[in-house]
Amino acid sequence: MTTEQQAPDSSAAFAPTTSRMMIGGESVDAADGQTFEVVNPATGKVIATAPLGGREDVDRAVAAARKAFDDRKGWANWAAGKRGRTLAKFADLIKKNSDELAWLESRNGGKPIGGARGEIIGASLVFDYYGGAANKVYGQTIPVSKPGLDFTLREPIGVVGLIVPWNFPLLMAAWKVAPALAAGNTAILKPASYTPLTAIRLAELALEAGLPAGVLNVVTGPGGTAGASIAAHPGIGKVAFTGETTTGQEIMRLAAGNVKKISLELGGKSPNIVFADADLEKFARESPYSVFDNAGQDCCARSRILVERSVHEKVVELFAAATRNVKVGDPADEATEVGTLVSFKQRDRVTDYIEIGQAEGATIVVGGAAPDDPALADGAYLMPTVFDNVTNDMRIASEEIFGPVVSVIPFDTEEEALRLANATPYGLSGSIWTRDLAKGLRAAKALQAGVISVNSNSSVHTEAPFGGYKMSGIGRELGMSALDLYTETKNVFIDIS
């Protein structure tokens, strides 16, 4: 690999060459000085190095976060409104620096720059929301049977560990950091190894916004060492994780040592159910983006289209035509809708699934390979791929591919559609398309998943709870529910007899 020279676009101005972790308000290298390379998947070239943090670095970060938490005049003891105003300032700074953050995210993850910008603004809105929420974390007064006053206090847990994936690096960090800090905790954030750059920049902006040193620490490094040390650390009271279901299971095991509180946002294999009476044109116009956005690397990707048999052919035709119009290209191009996968390794994994699907007897209607354009030959690109003649038991329909691949599966009755939709260990999201509102509501109630939309593919609303049933996770992020994940409830009884 060669180091990327001056890039021909304005993103060059924002590209760091070396980056450091943030511990206790200081930019630091890993304790043992090791680093790892950060690659742009659109070019295959190294754009930065980052510290290869490990156990010793996590120990340092826990000590710094604990010191900040225990400070009698510190973050946890600030008036909630003051914490909230500081988070609102943090939100403004993220917005003000959104160009830089979007370029970092785009070059680091292969994301289209337009989409990356939207994600950064989304992250800023999350901080803004929890800035407003900080002084609305209420307890209750409870009419108990003894003569006295009984009430609850909502208190921060202490030091929390936040482990995030590479698919929406800053946004996933915001979903965790903002409610954790709003509730008065101090935090250690660990970004994925592929995408550490925006987390590092976030910690710098936190200091600029006035968060005291040690309130937000960032440790970069591999999951198996830095991540596992966070999950197992006895000085951390809670771990919040987004990533693969198998990693979530490992984190549960590691967290058992000190009975950490845990919240997990894991994988998905979400259905997009199309009834014959639906607005098929609207479905076909909007739904390619429900599975191909972010090159399909989205836990909510509607990767199974369950379609009523009478409109099967028509839906495949409309969806295939819409898919051919999705603009795959250079992430730096404002017109690009789908950039690269996060890495060449991830593309290999998805390509394997495309071969598996063909071997299982499914047929490719669109895509199935890298783009022909020679200008894209050096990047980890893959064309949006539609499989037809799929059955729900095929591996392409049952395993999370995490790439731009969708399977079309026909059904005959409403009951069969719901049975197929629920026949997965996952339960994150799903969509239902019908003009019959009663049918839509029946299906919304019957789907075993945490985030459902009807005549839409929208899953994420900052103000509403987000999370999974079954093996898609534990707990609900976003909305006021997220504050439950970062607080302990203390019951106090006062005898007034």
Give the separation between CA 313 and CA 57, rounded to whole angstroms. Answer: 56
Smallest separation, CB 468 to ligand NAD (Å): 6
Smallest separation, CB 275 to ligand NAD (Å): 26
Residues labelled catalytic: 265, 299
Calculate Rg over the CA atoms of the chain.
Answer: 23
Beta strand 429-433 pairing with 271-274:
parallel
Output the six-digit token pair for 83.
């914490």
CB 218 within 8 A of CB 22: yes
Contact footprint for ligand NAD (CB under 6 A): 163-167, 172, 190, 192-193, 222-224, 227-228, 231, 242-244, 247, 250-251, 265-268, 299, 400, 402, 428, 468, 472-473
Query: For residues 106 and 167, which CB has a smaller minimum distance to ligand NAD in the complex?
Result: 167
Query: For residues 212 and 475, which CB has a smaller minimum distance to ligand NAD in the complex?
Result: 475
Give the separation between CA 247 and CA 163, rounded to whole angstroms. Answer: 11
CB 384 within 8 A of CB 338: yes
Alpha helices in 328-458 (DSSP H): 344-359, 395-398, 414-422, 437-446
Give the separation between CA 92 and CA 115, rounded to whole angstroms. Answer: 19
Smallest separation, CB 467 to ligand NAD (Å): 7
CB 57 within 8 A of CB 26: no
Give the separation between CA 62 and CA 238, rounded to whole angstroms. Answer: 12
Smallest separation, CB 193 to ligand NAD (Å): 6
Smallest separation, CB 111 to ligand NAD (Å): 14
Query: For residues 214 and 243, which CB has a smaller minimum distance to ligand NAD in the complex?
Result: 243
CB 45 within 8 A of CB 102: no
Output phi, psi for 215, to 5 deg: -75, -40
The single-letter code of the amino acid at 152 is T
Of 67, 342, 55, 39, nearest in space to 190 by CA: 55
Smallest separation, CB 120 to ligand NAD (Å): 16
Smallest separation, CB 106 to ligand NAD (Å): 18
The single-letter code of the amino acid at 383 is M
Q: Name the residue number minimizing CB distance to ligand NAD.
A: 223
Environment class of 279 (CB within 10 Å of its CB; exposed 0-12, middle 13-18, buried 19+): middle
Smallest separation, CB 396 to ligand NAD (Å): 16
Query: For residues 223 and 410, which CB has a smaller minimum distance to ligand NAD in the complex?
Result: 223
Query: For residues 329 and 475, which CB has a smaller minimum distance to ligand NAD in the complex?
Result: 475
Of 324, 458, 475, 497, nearest in space to 404 by CA: 324
Residues 6 or more apart whose CB falls under 8 angstroms from that of 30 comprise: 21, 51, 52, 53, 54, 57, 221
DSSP letters, 370-393, are: --S-GGGTTS-----EEEES--TT
Output the six-digit token pair for 332.
């730096």
Whose structure tokens read 């650390």? Answer: 233
Per DSSP, the three-state class of 473 is strand
The single-letter code of the amino acid at 429 is S
Kind and range of the H or E run holding 121:
helix 113-133
Smallest separation, CB 290 to ligand NAD (Å): 14
CA dist 403 → 353, 378, 386, 422 (Å): 9, 18, 11, 21
Query: For residues 262 and 420, which CB has a smaller minimum distance to ligand NAD in the complex?
Result: 262
Query: For residues 265 and 337, which CB has a smaller minimum distance to ligand NAD in the complex?
Result: 265
